[in-house]
Every structure is written in C-alpha cells, then in structure tokens.
Amino acid sequence: MARVAPLAVALLAASSLAPDDKERLQHAAQLLHGPREPEVRQGARECLAVGNADSIQLLIDVLNREQPHFRDIVFEVLPDYKDPYARRVVAKELRANKKDEGVREWCAQLLGLYGDPELAPALVEALSDVHPTVRAAAARSLGKLKFEAGAKKLEKIATDKDPFARADAIEALAAIDARTYDATFAAGLKDADAGVRCALLGALPRLYPDRAESSASATLDDPDWRPRMQAVENLGVIKTKGAVEALVTASGDRRPVVAMKATRFLQKLSGKQFTLADQWSLWWKENRDTFEFGGESKSTTPGDDGKRTRASYHGLPVESDHVAFVIDKSNDMTKPFSKGGSKDEAARKELEATLGRLLGTTFFFNGWTYGDDLKTFSKAPVPLDDKSERALLKWIEKETCSGNKNIWQVLETVVSDPDLDTVYLLSSGEPEVGLYVHWNRVCDHLANLNRFHKVVVHTVVYSDSAWYREQLEHIASSTGGSFTSEQ
C-alpha cells in the first residue's frame, strides 16, 4: 500500500473528527497516492463524502503534486463541496500558495463555482497576482459572484496588458453593474485585440441583450474573422428580420467557415438548402415581407453543393481554407495499423491524399507534430502548392516517433494562432502528460480559450479503446467539431 505523507497523517490524527470519519480519511489519504487512477478516484469520493475541511485539504495536496491524471481526478469532486469551512480552505490556499500559479488559478476558479460572496476577498487579492492566468480566473469568479466591493480593483485589471485578464475584468464589471460600466464594455468591444473583441461580443447577449443584434450586425465588418464568427453565432439565435438580413450578408463572408456558419443558420430558419450568398440574397429579397419565424427546419444535415467542401481527412469534410494538421508522433504511433503498416505510415498517407485533393484551391495550412516535443512546420500558415505539400510531408516523415502525448499543450498552442480556424488532431489515444490530461479539464480550458479564438477542432483517434475514443470525442464536441476513429 502507498505511503501517506507524514504531515497528512499528523493532521488527521490531531483533528476532532468522529472516529469513523478519521479512519475514512486516513484510508482516503492512502488511496490518493495511487498508483492507479481507480484508487485515486475512490479516495477523492471518500473525501467528498466526509465533506469537511480536513478532507478538502487532502485533495488540495493532490493539486500541488505533479501527477496530472490525479489532479484532474480530484478536480471532478472539488466543485461539489458544500461545507463553508471546507471552501475556506480553498480561499486560504489561494492566498498562501506562492509556488504554483496553476493551483492558484484552480482555487480562484473554484471560489467562483462555489457562489459564496464571503469568499470573494481572496479573489480581490488575487487580482494583484503576478501571473495573468490567476488574475483572469479571479476576475471571472468575481463576475460570477457579482461582488461589488471588488469593482475598483477590477477597473485596474480592465486595462491589463494581458488580453485574457483584460477581457475577463471588463466582463466582470458589466456583470456587477451593467449600467455603471456600460461605456467600459462598449470600449472593450473596440479593443485593439481581436480576441478581446470576440470574447466580449460573446458575453454581450447576456449582459446587454437590447444591443445584441445591433452590435453583432456592426461587427460583420470587423477586419478579423473571429469577431465576425461570434457575431454570426449571436445573430443565429435572435428571432428578428434584422438578424436574418444580417445573416444573409454574412453568408458571403470572405472566410469560408464564417459564411458556412451563417448559411447553416439560414438553412435551419428557412428550410431551404441554398449554399451561395447570391441565392440567399435573392430568397430574402423575395420573402422578407412575408417571412415568419416558426417554420424552422428540424434537419441537422446541411445542404452542400460541393463548392465549399474541398476534400476530406479521414472522412471528415475540409470546409476551411485556414487549417492546421496536428499529427501524433508519440511511441504509440509505431504500433501496427489495422490496414497494414504502422500507424505513423497510415497518418502520413492520409495527409498526402488530403493535400493532393486540395491542390489547385486557395488553401493555407500549417503542420504540428507532438510526442517527445511539440514542433511546428512553419511560423505561420503557408499557401498550399506542390512545393509546400512536398516540404510538409518530408518534414513529417523525418520526425521520429518517441515520447508521450501532451494534447493540451498542442491544443493551446495551435488554437492560439489567430490565422487558423480549423484543426484536425490525430491521436493514438488519450493524453498521457501535460497540464491537463482528462477530457473534463481539457475541454473546460479549451472552451475558455476558445471564447477568444472560435477554432473548431476535429479529432481522429487510431485506437480500438472505447476510453480513448471517448476522450477525443469530447474534445471535438466541445468546439463544435467532429470525431472519427480507426484502429
């Protein structure tokens, strides 16, 4: 049986717990050291069942360790704590932890999930943290709590150099007092950073619903595709003729993915399967006066005249013109593929076939490999032609398969590229290493990142493991992407 940290044993022995709870937590402390995940999960659940300050301290101790699988497991139960004294332990950790900004960020996140304003002073203090991820998490939580006493400090963060902290502070201020910070939010919608504009536009319908349509319509002229995509998403759920007219305009957007998003909203609203901007413009001209809501199509399969679906990758349509192909180069890719050869060889052949079908189109791409290290083919997406296709395939072939999969690292890196709107992630299984490894934590943080980037991630897994397939399927669905698997 795994050894328990002496300090944990001493604290449990000295506590005023009932004998049954003390024995249960001593057992939980042993389980939380693993070495297997089922033991850790059982230990976490036993801590939650006791539900007091001693039990939550055991879980926070796991957050402070280096095993990412165990950290993700204990975070499954931490939001469910109800005891106010247990929650104060989280606030204490946020204040006292000087070594690990990740733990401070997670504590700030938890305090917002708990919804207890009495814990907010620790979040106000965290707005002075040296790490922007902590400041951003504290700002988001203060907005959830609508903690008015934190507004003055949030005003300073609303001009933070970090775009995430800046946007989260502006959103928090509007959540606390929408009228007072109306001008602050309006200025944020014109921020120099397109990601900030995108994130705040996404929050606008909740905070200022009366301006949702007009702001989204105006954003269709934004020079960056990300705010335009968010504008289309806002307009797609507004039931006014003005919103439909704006979607008709957006169906001709110069970014194929933005135009396609608008088209799919229009297809659902109208029941028509048009795919071209001119078709929608003529339809609207002929039907605007008589159009009524309520006849939305129930079909979830969009029409496609073949002009936007450029090719396929493992059967997944390639509809974008700014794509990242992310290829697993971990040790697992040396294993046999069901159709012959190794998984690595199969991945290269499929990529070659996809690029071959895309030659002759306007298409920008980049490539990443991950395993021992995360590597990129080019500093920025490059146009596809014979030369760049050969260069990418040669580069991928030279990369050897070794190491473990850090899927969060590659997702965070690729999604943060403002030029890319679509990612095809190929993996031989679930993440093995990284800051986040289980799908619940990967998806939560990917969704937060995607408020600023709007990237769709499609996933392909080379595995017959239902567990691995589930991990990759969740990652895709959290971004609106598709998933497929091969063995």
Average pLDDT value for residue range 213-240? 98
| Average pLDDT rounded to a whole number, residues 384-405 | 95
Calpha distance 171→339 (Å, rounded): 51
Beta strand 374-376 with 316-318: parallel, antiparallel or unpaired?
unpaired
pTM, rounded to two decimals? 0.92
Neighbours of 282 (CB within 10 A): 13
In this structure, are residues 189 and 234 in contact, taking their beta carbons and an 8 Å threshold? no
CATH dotted code for 6-206: 1.25.10.10
Peptide bond before residue 336 is cis, with ω within 30 degrees of 0 = no
For residues 122 and 262, give the distance between their C-alpha atoms in angstroms, rounded to a whole number: 43
Query: Is pLDDT of 111 > 60?
Result: yes
Neighbours of 361 (CB within 10 A): 11
> Average pLDDT, stretch 208-236?
98
pLDDT tens-place string over residues 423-466? 999 999 888 899 999 999 999 999 999 999 999 999 999 998 89
Q: What is the pLDDT of residues 236-282, one digit of tens each?
A: 999 999 999 999 999 999 999 999 999 999 999 999 999 999 999 99
In residues, how long is the chain?
487
**Higher pLDDT residue, 286 or 17?**
286
Query: Quick check: helix, strand or coil at residue 360?
Result: coil
| Position 21 confidence tier, pLDDT thresholds 50, 70, 90 | confident
Q: Is 289 exposed, middle or buried (0-12, 13-18, 19+ CB in 10 A)?
A: exposed
Examine domains 6-206 and 311-486 and report if their fold is the same.
Answer: no
Distance (Å, whole) CA 144 – CA 117? 10
Q: What is the pLDDT of residue 14?
A: 46
CB 335 within 8 A of CB 345: no
pLDDT tens digits, 298-325? 554 444 444 456 799 999 999 999 999 9
The pLDDT, as a whole number, for residue 467 is 87
Q: Residue 10's pLDDT band (boundaries 50, 70, 90)?
A: very low
Q: How many CA atoms lie within 13 A of 40 on its CB side?
A: 19
Query: What residue segments make up the domains of the chain, in order of their start?
Result: 6-206, 207-305, 311-486
pLDDT, mean of residues 132-161:
98
Q: Which helix (H) or strand (E) holds 467?
A: helix 466-477
Q: Write the pLDDT tens digit of every residue in 38-67.
A: 999 999 999 999 999 999 999 999 999 999
**Angle subtended at Cα 275 by Cα 267 and Cα 473, rounded to the nearest 5 degrees:** 70
Alpha helix positions (H), 254-338: 256-270, 277-287
382-383 vs 316-318, strand pairing mode: unpaired
The whole-angstrom separation of Cα 337 and Cα 463 is 9
Portion of the chain with pLDDT greater than 70, in percent: 93
* 220 Cα distance to chain centroid: 24
Q: Where are the alpha helices (DSSP H) in 146-211?
A: 151-157, 163-176, 182-188, 194-207
pLDDT tens string 186-196: 999 999 999 99
Please count the other Cβ atoms lying within 10 Å of the Cβ belonging to residue 256. Answer: 21
Contact 238, 210 (CB under 8 A): no
What's the mean pLDDT in 364-391?
Answer: 96
CATH level 2 (architecture), domain 311-486: 3-Layer(aba) Sandwich (3.40)
Crossing angle of the two packed helices 53-63 and 6-14, in degrees rounded to 10: 170
Cβ-defined contacts of 413-418 (< 8 Å, 24+): 413/368, 413/374, 413/376, 414/324, 414/326, 414/368, 414/455, 415/446, 415/449, 415/450, 415/453, 415/455, 415/457, 416/449, 416/453, 417/324, 417/366, 417/380, 417/381, 418/194, 418/195, 418/224, 418/226, 418/453
Return the pLDDT at 19.
66
Q: Identify the DSSP state of 95.
A: H
